Structures are given as C-alpha cells and as structure tokens.
Structure 1
Amino acid sequence: MRRAWILGAVVVLAGVVGLGALYGRDYLDGMHFEKAISEIDETEVANGGPWPQPQETCVFCHGAHGQSVNAWYPALSGQPEAYLVAQLHAFAGGQRSNPYMGPIARELTDEQIQSLAAYFARQTPAQSEAVRAEAALEKRGMALVAAKSCQACHGASFMGRDQVPRLSGQGAAYLAKQLVAFKTGERHDPSGAMNGMAASLSGADIQAVASYLASLTPGGSDARKQ
C-alpha cells in the first residue's frame, strides 16, 4: 500500500515537473505581463486617472501627451490650464469654429474638460518641429514681435498665462493659420487685441512672426532680444 502511494506521488511529481517544463515559461510571462499592466495602470492613475482617458483620443492629432509633432496641429502640452478650458468651451459653444473639435468638445462634460485641461497643462512641452528660418526672416519676425509687444500678454518666454496661450515652439503652419484667422475675423478674440494686431500684419509679416515663434524652445531663454 505504501509502495503504491509512493509510486503515485512520484507520478504526480513527474506530471507537475512536466507541466512546469511545458507551461512554466508561459506562466512566468503571464505574471510579468500582469505586473507590467499593473504598473502602467498605476502610472495612468497618478497622471490623469484610470485608463482609458479622453486624452487618449487626442493623440491622433495632438501627439502623445499633447506634444504635437505636426506643424498643422497645435501642441497642448504645457498650455495654461485656463486657456485650454476656455478653448474647449469655445469649440463646444460654437464661438470657435472647427469641424473636428466642435463635435468632440460638445461630447465632453464640464468635469472632463477640466480634467483634460489639467492633464495637458502639466505635460512637458517641446518644439513641434525643427525650424531653420532664414536669418533675415527670423530677424524680421523678432522685430515684429517686439514692436507688437506680444510678450506683454504671452509672457517673456512666450509660454502663455491664464487664458493666453503658449506660442513658443508651436508649429509655424498652425501659428500662421491662426494669425490669418484673427486677421480675417474668422477667429475672434473676446478682448479684440489679437484681431487688431493681426489686422496690421501683411502676409509676409505673418510668415516671419510664425517662423520666429516656432523656432523658440518652450521654457527656454531663447526669446531673443534685439
């Protein structure tokens, strides 16, 4: 009887060893995968709440963490929270017209808008594109920015504040498009300041200003003085 028990134990042990050889690696891989997912989830919770978050859908146009790498789309990273809230409400209410952002913004609750704004505001910004402006164009843009006192509202390093956006390092194409929109009245600044300023710029001026601002490093000290 005892011999039969011992033989049975040996058979069971051999089976366990065999299963371990067959599936042990898969089991360990599964444990590693679960651990990785858990760590990712913990990071997401710390960063902006449990996954998925509304900002996940923003990546297609605005880039990972809101850092656009396409000069046509604005970077949201490092933008002032109040500015992001105001613009999302403007898109939702139709004060700022956009065939894509309008429908998206209207689907967001006030709480989601606040959460998105807080998330993107705390992301580290970077240049949206590598800009190699001609020396003459850059000098013209820098002179125009100084003459129009853009730093008075957008800050000494053009990082924005309150409901005024960060311009430093934004894509040149996006900046130029917005200046044209303010110039034509397609986009309206509640204070009227941007519309009045843009109206005084020629097409060449707009390209120079956009190129200069796009060449700046966000948070850097290269908002160069004449």
Structure 2
Amino acid sequence: MKRAWFISAAVVLAGVVSAGALFGRDYLDGMRFEKAMNEIDRSEVANSGPWPQPQETCYFCHGAHGQSVNGWYPALSGQPEAYLVAQLRAFAGGRRPNPYMGAIARALTDQQIQSLAAYFARQTPAQSEAVYGEAALEKRGMALVAAKSCQTCHGAAFMGRDQAPRLSGQGEAYLAKQFAAFKTGERHDPSGAMNGMAATLSGEDIQAVAGYLASLTPGGSATGMQ
C-alpha cells in the first residue's frame, strides 16, 4: 500500500514537472502580459482615459505629448493649465478665430477641455527648434522683453503662469505670427495688455523678440534677465 502511494506521488510529481516544462514559459509570459496590461491601465487613468484619447489627435500639428518640433505650430507641453483651458474655450466660442481649432474645440466637452489642459500642462517642455539668429538681433530681443516687462506676466524664465502662456522655447515663426496678430488686432487679449504692448513693436522688433524667446531652453534661466 505504502509502495503504491509512493508510486502515485512520483507520477503526480513527474506530471507537475512535465507541465512546468511545457507550460512554465507560457505561465511566465502570461504574468508579464498581465503586468503590462496593468501598467497600461494605470497610464490610461493618468492620461484621462483609454486610447484613442483626444490628445492623440493633437499629435499631427503639436507633436508627441504636445511638444511641437515645427516652428509654425505652438508647443502645448508645459503650458499653464488655466491658459490652455481659456484658449480652447476662446477657439470654441469664436473669440480666437481659427477654422481648424474652432471646429476641434467646439467638438470637445467641458470635461474633455479640462482633461486635455491638465494632460498637456504636466508634460515636460522642450525647445521646439534650434534657433540660429544673429547675435545683435538676439541682444535686441533680450533688451526689448526686459524693457516691456514681459516677465511680469510670463514669469522670470518665461514659463508662463495662470492665463499667461509659456513663451520660452516656442517656435520662432509661431511667436512672430502671434505678436503680429496682437499688433493688428487680429488676435485680442481680454486684458488688452498684449495688444497694447505689440502695438509699440516694429516688424524688426517682433522678429528680434520672437527669435530671442525661441532660443531659450524651457525651465532654464533667461539669458541676461534678472
């Protein structure tokens, strides 16, 4: 009887070992798959829901995670959340006319606007493009932003705060276009500050300021600024 029990136990053990040899890798792969899916689930929660998420559609113009690498399109990464919310609502309401962004913003719910703003605000910003401007023009731009006290609203490092956007490292062409739009009144600042400031800039001033701000590394100190 005891011998029969030992034989049965040996058969069972052999079966377990054989099963482990046959299915052990599959079991481990299954555990890894489950762990990966759990990581994806956590990422989805952090990024405001499952893919495709609204921010994925922003990729084509604004780059991965909102970090534009095209000087014509603004980077959304690291922008103040309040600024992003205000601009999306302005696009949706027609207060900031744009045929593309207007249509996109009007299709968003208020919750989606809030989620998008929160998502892009927490992304780490970087310089949108390498800027190789003339030293004299860059020096002029630095002097102009100091004289106009731009850091009062946009922060000492021009990283933005509240409803004032991050200017540091934005695309040069985009910045120049926005300054020109404020100057002509095509774009309206609710406070009037940007329209008033831009009205005092010449075309060459605009290029100098845009070039200087675009040359800055987000998060770093503004060259020559106190």
TM-score, normalised with respect to structure 2: 0.84
Contact 2:167 2:213 in 1 (8 A): yes
Please show how residues 88-103 of structure 1 align to structure 2 within 5 Å: 88-103=88-103
User: Quick one: distance in 1 between partners of 2:100 and 2:37?
Assistant: 32
Aligned to 2:134: 134
User: Quick one: distance in 1 between partners of 2:27 and 2:103?
Assistant: 45
Contact 2:131 2:214 in 1 (8 A): yes
User: Quick one: distance in 1 between partners of 2:223 and 2:108?
Assistant: 35
Aligned to 2:5: none
Q: Percent identity?
A: 81
Contact 2:141 2:211 in 1 (8 A): yes
User: Quick one: distance in 1 between partners of 2:86 and 2:63?
Assistant: 21
Contact 1:142 1:209 in 2 (8 A): yes
Aligned length in residues: 216
Aligned to 1:180: 180
Contact 1:128 1:171 in 2 (8 A): yes
Structure 1 72/26 Cα, relative in aligned 2: closer, same or farther at 3 Å?
Answer: farther
Contact 1:129 1:169 in 2 (8 A): yes
Aligned to 1:49: 48
Contact 1:159 1:168 in 2 (8 A): yes
1:24 to partner: Cα distance: 8.9
Deviates more, 1:216-225 or 1:113-122: 216-225
Contact 1:158 1:223 in 2 (8 A): no
Q: Which runs of 5+ in 1 are unaligned?
A: 1-8
Please show how residues 46-195 of structure 1 align to structure 2 within 5 Å: 47-52=46-51, 53-195=53-195
Q: List per-residue Cα deviations over 1:173-211 (Å, max 9, x = no partner).
A: 110010111111110011111111111111111111000
The one-letter code matched in structure 2 to 1:83 is: Y
Deviates more, 1:23-32 or 1:93-102: 23-32
The one-letter code matched in structure 1 to 2:186 is: E
User: Quick one: distance in 2 between partners of 1:92 and 1:129?
Assistant: 29
TM-score, normalised with respect to structure 1: 0.84
Aligned to 1:213: 213
1:32 to partner: Cα distance: 4.5
Q: List per-residue Cα deviations over 1:41-72 (Å, max 9, x = no partner).
A: 32231x22321221111111111111111111
Contact 1:67 1:75 in 2 (8 A): yes
Aligned to 1:3: none
Q: List per-residue Cα deviations over 1:92-135 (Å, max 9, x = no partner).
A: 00000111110110011111111111111111111111112211
User: Quick one: distance in 2 between partners of 1:64 and 1:37?
Assistant: 22
Please report the RMSD computed on the Cα atoms of aligned residues, expressed in angstroms: 2.6
The one-letter code matched in structure 2 to 1:103 is: A
User: Quick one: distance in 2 between partners of 1:33 and 1:204?
Assistant: 57
Q: Which runs of 5+ in 2 are unaligned?
A: 1-10
User: Quick one: distance in 2 between partners of 1:25 and 1:63?
Assistant: 39
Aligned to 2:225: 225
Contact 1:169 1:216 in 2 (8 A): yes
